[in-house]
Amino acid sequence: MNGRELSAPSCTMETPTLAHVETPTLAHVAALAGVSPATASRVINGTARVSPRARSRVEEAVQRLGYVRHRAAPADRRSGSIAAVVCEDDARVFTDHFFARLFSGVRRELGDDRELVVLIVGRAGRWGTVAEYLRGGRADGVLLISAHGAPAMALRQTGVPVLLAERPLWTTPLPYVDADNRGGARTAVDYLLKCGRQTIGTIAGPPDRAVGVDRLAGYRAAVGDAGLPTSGLITYGDLHQASGEHAMNRLLDRRPDIDAVLCASDQMAVGALRALSRTGRRVPDDVAVVGFDDSPIAGRVRPRLTTVRRPIEDMGVRMARELLGRIAGEASSGQGVVLNTKLIIRDSA
């Protein structure tokens, strides 16, 4: 182990009211598109020619409503496959180690009995097409990753068991598996306080993702309990290096007296290190830096990164286990499963 461990205590769019119905029907599609049900049916089934304008309006309504055609599912038939539906761009899926580690855990739990099928749909993916794929009986369950409310509900309507890879920020009965992001962030800030840091900033993650919201909440709780102000000490990034560098520059402009920063990802922490180096700040002498995830880059960068370890492989194992249990009709351990995080202390703080 490269350090000491301390245990820690998408895809949305606004639609008219009609678009929020629980189970969209052909009539709802027709009403939203402003066409007759017969025209909507012809577009969806491809049985007759319609005008390009009508076709475009119907296809948009289908996507916005998450409508899928109802087909009779073969009785008592299992595909032997689990689908991981990823709501991210191709580039990130193939370059971010998070996905490889998560899928490794999933595969370990599935063993040789089931196949893992990865469907990358992107943030503007065609969820109706994915729902059709699943309704066709090609997967027995779905692991939904990096998704927001609309696609999650669209896939739920297929009747296939769905499990989320992150705590949802919207009201939903769907189960999930996540790490204790709030507790991990709080532990990191408590550590910085024990090290004598007094002006602690944070580069928070996206406010529409639980990893962003929960890690920021942990930071606020720890700083608040210490009676320290946060004015000018909170900026945001998109979890990538470039955004971390830009956010660190903003923090230095606002609060040149800053002596520590908690970053919501290791990638943003690396960007922060770059910004600090360019402005002549020494890490950790002048500014301590803590990341989040304990990704491979944390041990390669110099100084080596102190970070909060998220048990990504274990999350994948637990996700697969929970989903297989639901497929088999077994009693679940509850709606949400939250795994512990650990603070890995290295050289940057």
Whether pLDDT at 81 is above 50: yes
List the Cα angle 212/215/216 in 5-degree steps. Answer: 80
CA distance 154 to 125: 12
**Residue 65 or 21, more confident:** 65
Report CA Rg, the chain.
23
Q: Tens digits of per-residue pLDDT, 230-267?
A: 999 999 999 999 999 999 999 999 999 999 999 999 99
User: Are the beta carbons of 50 and 39 closer than 8 angstroms?
Assistant: yes
Q: Is the dihedral of CA 55, 59, 62, 65 positive or negative?
A: negative
Whether pLDDT at 121 is above 90: no
User: Are the beta carbons of 175 and 335 closer than 8 angstroms?
Assistant: yes
* Average pLDDT of span 29-58: 79
**DSSP letter, residue 86:** E
Q: What is the pLDDT of residue 317?
A: 94
**DSSP letter, residue 203:** E
Q: What are 268's two structure tokens?
A: 């943003």
Q: What is the pLDDT of residue 154?
A: 65
Q: Tens digits of per-residue pLDDT, 157-174?
A: 677 888 999 998 877 778
CA distance 3 to 89: 33
Whether pLDDT at 68 is above 80: no
> Is the previous residue joined to 284 through a cis bond, with omega within 30 degrees of 0?
yes
Q: Tens digits of per-residue pLDDT, 6-40?
A: 554 433 333 444 445 556 777 788 888 888 777 77
Q: What is the pLDDT of residue 206?
A: 92
* Average pLDDT of span 177-187: 97
CA distance 185 to 202: 10
Q: What is the pLDDT of residue 6?
A: 54
CA distance 278 to 299: 21
Q: What is the pLDDT of residue 311?
A: 95
Q: What is the pLDDT of residue 224?
A: 96
Whether pLDDT at 95 is above 80: yes
For the ranges 94-98, 152-156, 214-218, the maximum mean pLDDT occurs at 214-218
Q: What is the pLDDT of residue 15?
A: 41
Count CA atoms within 13 Å of residue 176 on its CB side: 22
> E strands within 283-330?
288-293, 306-309
Q: Tens digits of per-residue pLDDT, 314-349?
A: 999 999 999 988 888 775 656 889 999 999 999 999
CA distance 186 to 166: 19
Average pLDDT of the chain is: 85
Of 130, 124, 121, whose CA–CA distance to 11 is shortest? 124
CA distance 175 to 19: 23
For the ranges 83-97, 114-128, 255-269, 322-336, the maximum mean pLDDT occurs at 255-269
Q: What is the pLDDT of residue 90?
A: 81
CA distance 145 to 164: 6
Q: Tens digits of per-residue pLDDT, 268-319?
A: 999 999 999 999 999 999 999 999 999 999 999 999 999 999 999 999 999 9
Whether pLDDT at 47 is above 70: no
φ, ψ for residue 170 (rounded to 5)? -115, 160
Question: pTM value?
Answer: 0.74
The length of the chain is: 349
